[in-house]
Structure 1
Amino acid sequence: MARLPLVCAGVGAVALAAILIGLHAPAHHAQAQAQLPAQTAAIPAQASAPVCSAPPQLTRFTHRLPRLADRVAQRASITIVAMGSSSTAGTGASSPAATYPARLEALLKERAVGAMPITVLNRGVGGEEIREMLARFDRDVMAAKPDLVLWQLGTNSVLHEHEISSNGGMLAGELALLKQTAADVVLINPQYAPKVLAHPAVNTMVELISATAKASSVELFDRFAIMKYWRENREMPFETFLSPDLLHMNDWGYDCVARLLANAITDAATRTPLTAGMPTLVGTRR
């Protein structure tokens, strides 16, 4: 994998990174972290588990997350809402602690080294499509006054073989309302899994979510491309990252998604405006 060039983001960015990533951790911990390339982290479960990794071009956000950056600069509390369906609720995980929102909260708290309270609220409900999520947005998302919204969506419309194009207007409308709250937003597209791939409409949904994210100036965490990379480039069996139903992720899959997402969030929240869109010291941890 090609190594990104190292670009120093200046003293301010390094100081912010120290708050969120934990550059003030003990020397032996910092040394261990330094051995890991950007967007790569070893899964601490069993020794036979594969390394969690994906190319930076699939995981790094295009822009900084301004709301989160402000909260980090102020060392203020951070509230993240994970909205979605069963992939967010955690179907396939061995316990609530193994869901991606729970793992994300734990990882971000580790990096914050006690500097600020971080809460990730799991608002996943299995089986829901975009229309059903919108019906509970005020209660489950807006009421929490989030600094960051992670919205996983699209899979169930594909599985139910419902018309795809109408989702674009509903999604764009809700994103416009979210932006009025000043919350940062990241969309998470469908999983790359046999039961999803059996429906050709998944490609239309992936393209729609990507286009809507770009048009609405919000970030996209390309879960579909990341999982496709695991399967096709790393030649990992689906069973490595999916549960036996070959639809939902397993503990390894949820953990790896959380780790890659934590890296992307940390980088985008500590990136300075002048270096947005370029590799930074924060985004090139080794």
Structure 2
Amino acid sequence: MSEESPLKELLDFMQNSAYFRVVLFGASNTERYYPYTHWGDVLEAGLRWRYERKFHLINSGVNGNNTREALRRFDRDVASFAPDIVIVTLGGNDCIPALSRHVPETEFAANMSLIARKIRQLGAYPVFQTYYKMDSANMEPQRAENFLRYMQIVRQCAIADKILLVDQYKVFDRADMDTLRYKLLINAMHVSEYGNMLMGTVLLNRLQIDARKLYHGEKVLAAAELFRQLTGCEPGSGLQ
């Protein structure tokens, strides 16, 4: 199976379906950390532009969740909605060093693969996202070091399990530190409204949707231009 086949399969499904349901499954960066435009809003607007009104999007993010906790609520917060697509963004809390919260790397990898299997058992498509780049200089040093390895595990699981990957970190990593710290982040570990809009632009790009074309999308234009500057790619090109 080619690297792009999960993408083609997903795009064909959305195009040819009479209706589909998307669930966002993750922690605080999936749940609304602050009351402003969220990456899920940008995703929803982009899907609406492309697929009109034949889908619904449900946010099942819970602040602070690691993969253990996410798995415990999977039936209630994912399976119960009978999703067709589940976008998984986890790992930022598994890497916490404190023993009461830490999920070892081998268990984290197994949990991510289990989440993917459970999604597929529902007849749905899993999509894995990495987190964005965090401000490691203002994080607990061990957590910052762990975080990089855990995001690599997300990538490895996506490859091994043939899951569509959206590498948010790869794009955010190209921003200079002032842009990252003072524009894209609201604190060391969470994105600002601008950062959320960049995340949404990155996700839409992976789905071959140009964020610049959204209805009444003026608010997203700056993030779309930043995406173009950071990647050298036109939004909507689908390049990873």
TM-score range, shorter chain: 0.7 to 0.9
Aligned to 1:9: none
Paired AA for residue 241 in structure 1: L
- Aligned pair in 2 of structure 1 residues 222, 284: CA closer, same or farther (>3 Å)? closer
Q: Which secondary structure does the structure 2 equivalent of 1:132 belong to?
A: helix
Q: Which secondary structure state, in structure 1, belongs to the residue aligned with residue 35 of structure 2?
A: coil
> Are residue 69 (structure 1) and residue 69 (structure 2) matched?
no
> Equivalent of 1:263, from 193, 197, 205?
205
> Counterpart of 1:136?
73
Deviation at 1:228, TM superposition (A): 0.9
Change over 3 Å in CA distance of 1:207–1:61 after alignment to 2: same
Secondary structure at the aligned position of 2:88 is classed as strand
Question: C-alpha separation between the residues in 1 aligned to 2:87 and 2:120?
Answer: 13
2:89 to 152, 157, 165: 152
Give the deviation of 1:111 after TM superposition. 2.9
Structure 2 stretches lacking a partner, 5+ long: 210-235
Structure 1 residue 250 and structure 2 residue 189: aligned?
no
Match of 2:20 in 1: 78
Deviates more, 1:175-184 or 1:61-70: 61-70
Alignment partner for residue 45 of structure 2, among 99, 106, 125? 106
2:167: which partner in 1?
A: 222
Write the distance in 2 (CA, Å) between the matches of 1:178 and 1:261: 19
Shift, 1:68, TM fit: 4.8
Aligned to 2:31: 89
- The answer (yes or no) to whether the contact 1:65–1:184 under 8 Å persists in 2 is no
- Higher-Rg structure is 1
The change in CA–CA distance for 1:223 and 1:67 in structure 2 (over 3 A counts) is closer
Does the 8 A contact of 2:168 with 2:202 survive in 1?
no
TM-score (structure 1 length as normaliser): 0.64
Tell me the equivalent position of 2:182.
239
Work out the percentage of aligned pairs sharing the same amino acid: 21
Match of residue 191 from structure 1:
132
Cα distance, 1:204–1:72 mapped onto 2, change above 3 Å: same
Contact in 2 for aligned 1:81/1:150 (Cα 8 Å) = yes
Cα distance, 1:133 vs structure 2: 0.3
Q: Distance in 2 between matches of 1:284 and 1:154?
A: 24
Distance, in Å, in 1 between the alignment partners of 2:194 and 2:79 is 31
Task: Report how many residues are paired.
Answer: 204
What residue is the counterpart of 1:124 in the other structure? 61
CA-CA distance at 1:168 after TM superposition: 1.1
Deviations 1:172-213 (A, max 9, x none): 122122223331211112331125583311122112111111
1:207-234 residue CA offsets vs partner (Å, 9 max, x unmatched): 21111111111011112222111236xx
Contact 1:231 1:237 in 2 (8 A): yes
The offset of 1:125, in angstroms, is 0.5
Moved more, 141-150 or 129-138: 141-150
Aligned Cα root-mean-square deviation (Å): 2.6
Per the normalisation by structure 2, the TM-score is 0.75
Match of 1:10 in 2: none
Q: Kindly tell me: are residues 207 and 197 of structure 1, through their superposed partners in 2, closer, same or farther at Cα, counting changes over 3 Å? A: farther
User: Post-superposition shift, 1:65?
Assistant: 4.6
Q: Is the 8 A contact 1:186 1:219 kept in 2?
A: yes
The separation in 1 between residues aligned to 2:108 and 2:26, in whole angstroms, is: 15
RCO (CA 8 Å, sep 6+): is it higher in 1 or 2? 1
| 1:166 maps onto 2:111 in alignment | no
Structure 1 stretches lacking a partner, 5+ long = 1-59, 268-281
Asked if 2 retains the 8 angstrom alpha-carbon contact of 1:83 and 1:141, the reply is yes
